[in-house]
Structure 1
Amino acid sequence: MLRTEDLGVCPYEEALRIQRAAHAEVAAGGPERLLLVEHPAVITLSRRRGVRRNLLVSEDCLATRRIDLQETDRGGDVTAHGPGQQVVYPILRLADHRLNLSRYMRLLEEAAIATAAAFGVAAHREAGATGVWVARPGSRGGEVQPTAKLCALGVRIAKNTTLHGLAFNVRTDLGIFALIDPCGLGGRPVTSLLDLLGDACPGMDEVREALVGALVDALAAADRGGSGPLPPAVRGDRLPA
């Protein structure tokens, strides 16, 4: 049984406590969870060596802007959360779905790509960069604009059970990403459905429903053995246990 719980707007530290409690229950055989949340403005840092060099402003600057700073045990590097970003924390037993880490990461990407497609946005994976990306129209200074990240991923696996998950930008204030080098990828841009669709951007409820549906469908396909060949690992897949 997969239980969906909407935490509403919840500070990162509190949501992490809830995740850990849910993880203990799921690892012990309890119902699997999808925890849905929006966080107040926060920048999170993984335990990767050198991650703080990708924080481009001082902690005092963040405090002045009322942006929280939290260290976390997920994989990946540095990222930002804020209102208008739909975060999903699946708490799942990988073996129950015939998944390993790489296949699970591709499943999360697949669900985000399907969600974007539901609103007319063509998103894709990129070799060497975990997450979901979109092409941006036009050019700048005669050069084609680089693709932009729409959805970030960062997970942790402990006792074969997942923590953390994905962050899908819907109506996020993208200004927060100027304060970091997201995921340490050299200043590549970040986008949102609002940035891409303007007035046609869906509401948070619509995106939440589509994202949960896409995750449920992707898990059902995995349960049926429809995940296909194991994809190659990409940057960010080798995460702490």
Structure 2
Amino acid sequence: MTRADFDILDLGVMPYRAAWDLQKQHHARVAGGGRPTLLLVEHPPVLTLGRKAREGENIVVTREYLAAQSIDVFEVERGGDVTYHGPGQLVAYAIFPVGRRVRDFLRLLEQSVVEALGTLGLPDARPNPGYAGVYLQDREVNGLERHQKICSIGVAVKQHVALHGIGLNVTTNLDHFNLIVPCGLTDTQMTSVQREYDLRGRNSTIEIKDAKEALADAFVRTFQTYDWSLPAPAGAGS
């Protein structure tokens, strides 16, 4: 699928390692001047450890338990701590030129998710200053105010091109987040689009295909005026 200045590829459900390898292939192509690409995918259950994960200290079960549940663990290049991917979570890998505009790029990723969630009927979606990701209105849980996080964001930038991206909980099994301290945040509870529909008395269900369409459209709008150029190689010029 081609939209605006980048392609959108729907990978369906794909094991994490296969998608990681595919990311690297597209990254090499984009770093060489190829067309930017947004990959949309769901993964079987998997934990990934970012650069801040410190040997996975925020995994709260044993590796043996994870293996028995067929949940793999991967150490990856992205920023952040530990996160979970699984069925019902829409993962979007934006293989886009970034250059040195990393902070601006992260804000655009957040904005894309916020707009998509607005389309899906969650107008209170917002970034949370100081934390990467997208959140909904705080909620009291067992007498304590807890941030409600619906989307995690973590990227790596190599050769001025981004890898990794976002994980938006749509119909995700939220019990799997009990295996970890998500992103190392102890004051945060993970939520999903479907959970919010249920808690807010909205008598409807959400499907991944609806979230894919909303997110793809939001990316097109958000990145409409984006600078797609790659920095010139060192030593280039007159």
The two structures have a TM-score, normalised by structure 1, of 0.86
Superposed, which structure 2 residues align to 1:22-33 within 5 Å? 22-33=26-37
Q: Give 5+ residue unaligned stretches, structure 1.
A: 225-241
- Quote the offset at 1:140 in angstroms: 4.2
User: For each residue in 1:98-154, what CA deviation from the matched residue of structure 2 results, as whole angstroms up to 9, or x when unmatched?
Assistant: x700000000000111111112211111121110001155x44554x3121100000
Report the secondary structure of 1:154's partner residue.
strand
Report the secondary structure of 1:54's partner residue.
coil
Is structure 2 residue 87 aligned with structure 1 residue 83?
Answer: yes
Residue of structure 1 equivalent to 2:125: 123
Superposed, which structure 2 residues align to 1:126-205 within 5 Å? 126-136=128-138, 139-143=140-144, 145-186=145-186, 188-198=188-198, 199-205=203-209
Report the secondary structure of 1:146's partner residue.
strand
Residue 18 of structure 2 is aligned with which of 14, 20, 27?
14
CA distance in 2, matches of 1:28, 1:153: 25
Residue of structure 2 equivalent to 1:237: none
Report the secondary structure of 2:218's partner residue.
helix
CA distance in 1, matches of 2:177, 2:83: 8
Q: Alignment identity in percent?
A: 37
Q: Which amino acid aligns with 2:146?
A: P
CA distance in 1, matches of 2:185, 2:142: 22
CA distance in 2, matches of 1:35, 1:72: 17
- The answer to whether the 8 A contact 1:169-1:191 is kept is yes
- The answer to whether the 8 A contact 1:154-1:164 is kept is yes
- Quote the offset at 1:171 in angstroms: 0.2
- The answer to whether the 8 A contact 1:51-1:78 is kept is no
Q: Which amino acid aligns with 1:114?
A: E
- Quote the offset at 1:166 in angstroms: 0.4
Is structure 2 residue 75 aligned with structure 1 residue 54?
Answer: no
Q: Give 5+ residue unaligned stretches, structure 2.
A: 229-238
Residue of structure 2 equivalent to 1:103: 104
- Quote the offset at 1:188 in angstroms: 1.6
Report the secondary structure of 1:105's partner residue.
helix
CA distance in 2, matches of 1:24, 1:194: 36
Report the secondary structure of 1:132's partner residue.
strand
- The answer to whether the 8 A contact 2:113-2:134 is kept is yes
Q: How many aligned positions are there?
A: 219
CA distance in 2, matches of 1:216, 1:47: 29
The two structures have a TM-score, normalised by structure 2, of 0.87
RMSD of equivalent CA atoms: 1.7
- Quote the offset at 1:94 in angstroms: 2.0
Summarize the Cα distance change of 1:49–1:63 in structure 2 as closer, same or farther, 3 Å threshold. closer
**More off after superposition, 181-190 vs 32-41:** 181-190
Residue of structure 1 equivalent to 2:114: 113
- The answer to whether the 8 A contact 1:125-1:133 is kept is yes
Report the secondary structure of 2:78's partner residue.
coil
Report the secondary structure of 1:200's partner residue.
coil
CA distance in 2, matches of 1:49, 1:192: 23
User: For each residue in 1:7-26, what CA deviation from the matched residue of structure 2 results, as whole angstroms up to 9, or x when unmatched?
Assistant: 11111111000000000001
